[in-house]
Structure 1
Amino acid sequence: MRILVLGQGKTGKLVADVAAERGHSVHVLDAKENKDAAALTPPFVAGFDAVIDFTAPEAAVQNMRACLATGAKMVVGTTGWYAKLADMRGLAERRGGSLLHGTNFSVSVQAMLQLATAMGAALKGAGYEFRITETHHVTKVDAPSGTAISLGEMVQNAAGVDNVPIEAIREGDVMGLHVLEASNASDRLVLTHESFSRRGFAEGAVRAAEWVVQQKPGSYDFRDIYTKL
């Protein structure tokens, strides 16, 4: 499979490495080579089976506009752009492209999201207060993280509560630490996920690309398909 990786940051580089390890042909474009998505012309994009984006929110939207308009199949691991999600889904549908997005491409994080739903449902109406703390490296652009926002949404829907508070901490080179806490006057329940490396994100993104090229055009959320990989 021919994969185009957009973004040559730490995660983007690892995505390229993992894709090559899995036997794929890989081409990487960094921000300078692809300013304002100028490199993503229809003939160029047509040379790839899948595009994987790990850039920045504004760049990701520009990249999606350029790639999805050609009917490309995209996996977007960048977060912080979801205000444009409906627009990007619509573009993919109109042009016969595929958009597979996710707040986190780690399979174990997806398991945490499912556990958060179960936790919220089990404690519904029992007087518990929920809070989330997330810690990431100082260069992460969006705060709170997309994963923390997803956790909050899961708990709110399952427990029937509003506005689960999220504390975002940026320090050092922390890969990702998410803590969901439920407490009342009697006790406390804590659910924690800690990433030691970006490799889990990279492997999930490459496997997602392998999956999406086999599917009909459309829009997919990684949380709905990760068990199929």
Structure 2
Amino acid sequence: MLFLVLGRGKTGRVIADVAREHGHGVQVLGEEENRNAMALTPPFLTGFDAVIDFTTPEAAVSNMRACLANGARMVVGTTGWYDHLDDMRSLAARKDAGFLYGANFSIGVQAFYRLARELAVAVPSYRFRILETHHAGKKDAPSGTALSIRQAVQTANPALNVEIDSQRVGDVAGIHILEARSENELIELKHEAFSRRAFAEGAVRAAEWIAGKIGAWNFSEIASQL
């Protein structure tokens, strides 16, 4: 397969490396080459089996509009743009595109979501809190993953109020801790990404999965199929 990776940041570079390790051809476009999605023309997009976006919230919206409007298959790991989600899903449906998005493409984080739901049911009277830490260059806070953890907890137990504390320091790939606390004890679930490769592996598998498909999915819906 031939993949287009949007974004020359640290995660984008790792994704390109992993895709090549999987035997795929890869082309990478940085922001300077694709301002306002100007490079994403119909003739250019036709040559790719899937487009993988790990850019910024602002760039991702323009990229999605261009790719989905041309019926491309697209994997979006950028977060911070979800107020446009309904519009993007609708665009994908109208144009017979393939659209796969997610707050976190780590398989371990998908397991974390399931455990968070179970914990919310198991100790419904405890106080819940999420602590998340990412690298200083991450622009959105709270992280999309932290928001998804809160959604998982509150879907399982709508009565729970879950606070999120965010930190942006150094080059941390990602740490998420879910606390459930009572007067007498503390339960913690923790996920720590040691490198961006955890996200890159999931993103490449997602691109392999969506090639040739039409529809819109959250990564959590299909992660167990990879």
TM bin, normalised by shorter chain, reads over 0.9
Matched, 1:166 2:132: no
Q: Secondary structure at the match of 1:154?
A: helix
- 1:152-205 CA-to-partner distances (Å, cap 9, x unmatched) read 011112122244100000111111000000011121110000010000100100
Q: Secondary structure at the match of 2:31?
A: coil
| TM-score, structure 2 as length reference | 0.98
Hey, what does 1:225 align to over in structure 2? 222
Q: Secondary structure at the match of 1:167?
A: strand
On the 8 A contact 1:121/1:159 being kept in 2, the answer is yes
- The CA distance in 2 between the partners of 1:98 and 1:163, in whole Å, is 35
Q: How does 1:134-213 map to 2 (within 5 A)?
A: 134-213=132-211
On the 8 A contact 2:128/2:181 being kept in 1, the answer is yes
- The CA distance in 2 between the partners of 1:95 and 1:162, in whole Å, is 39
Identity %: 58
Structure 2 residues not aligned, in runs of 5+: none
- The CA distance in 1 between the partners of 2:161 and 2:217, in whole Å, is 26
Matched, 1:54 2:51: no
Q: How does 1:77-116 map to 2 (within 5 A)?
A: 77-116=77-116
- The CA distance in 2 between the partners of 1:84 and 1:210, in whole Å, is 25
Residue identity matched to 2:197: R
Structure 1 residues not aligned, in runs of 5+: none
On the 8 A contact 1:37/1:62 being kept in 2, the answer is yes
Equivalent residue pairs, number: 226
Q: Secondary structure at the match of 1:147?
A: helix
Greater than 6 Å deviation, 4+ residue runs: none
Q: Secondary structure at the match of 2:26?
A: strand
- The CA distance in 2 between the partners of 1:163 and 1:84, in whole Å, is 25
On the 8 A contact 1:123/1:159 being kept in 2, the answer is no
- The CA distance in 2 between the partners of 1:146 and 1:107, in whole Å, is 15
Q: Secondary structure at the match of 2:8?
A: coil
Q: How far is the alpha carbon of 1:214 from its aligned partner?
A: 4.3
Residue identity matched to 2:188: V
Hey, what does 1:22 align to over in structure 2? 22
On the 8 A contact 2:49/2:212 being kept in 1, the answer is no
Residue identity matched to 1:149: L
Q: Secondary structure at the match of 1:150?
A: helix
- The CA distance in 2 between the partners of 1:43 and 1:135, in whole Å, is 41
On the 8 A contact 2:128/2:160 being kept in 1, the answer is no
- 1:197-219 CA-to-partner distances (Å, cap 9, x unmatched) read 0001001000000001143x110
Q: How far is the alpha carbon of 1:123 from its aligned partner?
A: 1.4
Q: Secondary structure at the match of 1:143?
A: coil
- The CA distance in 2 between the partners of 1:161 and 1:210, in whole Å, is 39
On the 8 A contact 1:132/1:167 being kept in 2, the answer is yes
| TM-score, structure 1 as length reference | 0.97
Q: Secondary structure at the match of 1:165?
A: strand
Hey, what does 2:131 align to over in structure 1? 133
Note the aligned Cα RMSD (angstroms).
0.8
Q: How does 1:54-73 map to 2 (within 5 A)?
A: 54-73=54-73
